[in-house]
Amino acid sequence: MSSEQPARRRPGGPRPVPTHPTDDVCDDILSILGRQLGDAAPPAGDPRSRRKLKNVTFEYADDPRSVHNMAGNSGYSLASNWFTQLLAQLAVANSITKSQLCVFLFVAGGQAPGTGFAQYTQQEITTGLNEIAAKKDGKKITRSTVNRAIKALCEYKWVEQAGNGKIRLNVTLWFRGNSASQHEVLAEIAAEHENDPAAFPHDIGPERPHQEEFDFGQHGSYGTEKRTG
């Protein structure tokens, strides 16, 4: 009875892998994989194994910290979403005058970054608001109207006069700067007003509005008094 001959390995076929592979065996495995992929792997230590990538492009997602793309060259401010909607609701209800709305928006857009202050005299506000009207020979706002609007805005605690042509914005409503700067400004305001919870910038008017009163489709406490100007 003849003993069974072991099967002969075909040329180029894989060799049995020993129980404890050595570096040589690993090199052989890489060579086999290279041939199967149609490109023989270079020997270990061959400089060709460190090939440079060519014609490779990379795509990057937008950095969330990147600078905003805003219209104009005056930067941007952060406004309370609640207050932004409140402005629109008050305007529709004629609960603030056109002049009050225009004066506030003009001053709010002129804040010095990180301070809450806008540096405007009443004449500068008047001239600034009339810039387009002057070019079109249209209706203009008067300085006396601007004066009355500022007094009303101070009563609403939307702004505060700070002397020397300075107007301070209620920075809980509209602030140009980061949160750290806003907290510093609020602390400064609180100290100036002896931490009075009824003083500026708290107790926002007119008539202490609450957010829930101004949901769209609901009737708030505004619109009972029609104002013009």
User: Residue 159 in 3-state DSSP?
Assistant: strand
- Joined tokens for residue 145: 């109207």
Residue 174: predicted pLDDT: 96
pLDDT in tens, 156-205: 999 999 988 999 999 999 999 999 999 999 999 999 999 998 899 888 99
- Joined tokens for residue 111: 């804040």
**CA–CA separation, 193 vs 205, rounded Å?**
18
pTM here is 0.63
Q: Which fold has domain 78-214?
A: Arc Repressor Mutant, subunit A (1.10.10)
Residue 98 DSSP symbol: H
Alpha helices by DSSP H, listed for 43-168, are 81-92, 98-108, 122-129, 131-136, 143-155
**CA–CA separation, 129 vs 134, rounded Å?**
9
User: Residue 111 in 3-state DSSP?
Assistant: strand
Of 38-52, 123-137, 145-159, the one with minimum mean pLDDT is 38-52
pLDDT in tens, 96-143: 999 999 999 999 999 999 999 999 999 999 999 999 999 998 999 999
